Amino acid sequence: MESGIVLDSFAVLAYLQAEKGAQQVKELLHQAANGQLSVQMTVINLGEVYYITSRVYGQERAEEVLAMLKHLPIKLVVADEELTLEASRIKAKHPLSYADTFAVALAQRHGVSVVTGDPEFSCVENLVSVKWL
């Protein structure tokens, strides 16, 4: 078993909205709560979850989601200069959203998989392992 994974915003939104893949994310979070797995997400991807939730359900709901996420066993990683530049290098060469490149860069940094259901990640499977929801 990997020692860790990186969650993309797609995976978090699937979990929050009980969509396809939600059960897989729930199991990963359960493993993290039991100390069996490190689950990380960048603050950039957290921001993506926030703005998408706010756009669809309103700012009040986005604030509730933000508060709830802070209680889950997800380590939030601040984007330092090194991570930002690596994400930018990925963005320059691949048709992936800027926020998504941070998840890829973080997974590369730690040698772990990105968990997502976003088909755009197929363009970076040569860079990082992708666990598909």
**Residue 107 is which amino acid?**
A
Q: Is a pLDDT exceeding 80 seen at residue 120?
A: yes
Does the pLDDT of residue 93 top 50, yes or no?
yes
How large a percentage of the chain has pLDDT more than 90? 98
Residue 3 lies in a domain: no
Asked whether residue 33 is domain-assigned, the answer is yes
Domains held by the chain: number? 1
CATH assignment at residue 45: 3.40.50.1010
CB 119 within 8 A of CB 102: no
41 in a domain, yes or no? yes
- Neighbouring-strand partners of residue 38: 4
Residue 95 lies in a domain: yes
Range of the domain at 97: 8-132
Give the pLDDT confidence of 17-45 residue by residue, as tens digits.
999 999 999 999 999 999 999 999 999 99
Q: What pLDDT is stored for residue 1 in this prediction?
A: 42
| Dist. CA 43–CA 88, nearest whole Å | 16
State yes or no: pLDDT of 126 exceeds 50. yes
Give the residue from 72, 133, 131, 73 showing the smallest Cα distance to 107.
131
Per-residue confidence at 110, pLDDT binned at 50, 70, 90?
Answer: very high
Q: Do residues 25 and 59 lie in contact, with contact meaning Cβ atoms separated by under 8 Å?
A: no
Neighbours of 14 (CB within 10 A): 23
Average pLDDT value for residue range 55-65: 98
Q: Which two tokens stand for residue 115?
A: 């968990």
Q: Is residue 108 part of a domain?
A: yes
- Residue 64 is assigned to a structural domain of this protein: yes
Q: Is position 96 within any domain?
A: yes
Say if residue 11's pLDDT is above 60. Answer: yes
